[in-house]
Amino acid sequence: MAKRDPAVTATLTVYCQPGARQTRLAGLHGGLPKIQLAAPPVDGAANEALIAFVAERCGVPRSRVRITHGHTSRTKRLAIEGVDDDAVRQALLGG
């Protein structure tokens, strides 16, 4: 779980693969964290699954995670309120 600080907002760019067997971190794709999502890319389901996954890994409420760019793309930029970039990297990648 990432250390929380309400005064900071981390940014994270990820590559998403919707329609996978399970939602999980699957290494890197083009230098970006690759997150496989069990949800299909229909009616925002994959975006919601991504937000829930990142929020859980970072230890913040889902309301603190939002997609800022790439709503309809596989490459997405997220803003995570309450944690810094290093804490997010540690929570997702372990380093």
CATH number, domain at 67? 3.30.1200.10
Q: Provide the number of structural domains found in the chain.
A: 1
Residue 84 lies in a domain: yes
Residue 1 lies in a domain: no
Please state, as a whole number, how many other Cβ atoms lie within 10 Å of the Cβ of residue 24: 13
pLDDT profile of the chain (95 residues), mean per 10: 70 97 96 97 97 96 98 98 93 78
* Cα–Cα distance list, 49 to 3, 5, 43, 60, 91 (Å): 22, 24, 12, 15, 17
Q: Which domain holds residue 71?
A: 9-93
Query: Model-level pTM?
Result: 0.91
Residue 3 lies in a domain: no
Residue 34 lies in a domain: yes
Residue 26 lies in a domain: yes
pLDDT digits over 9-33, tens only? 999 999 999 999 999 999 999 999 9
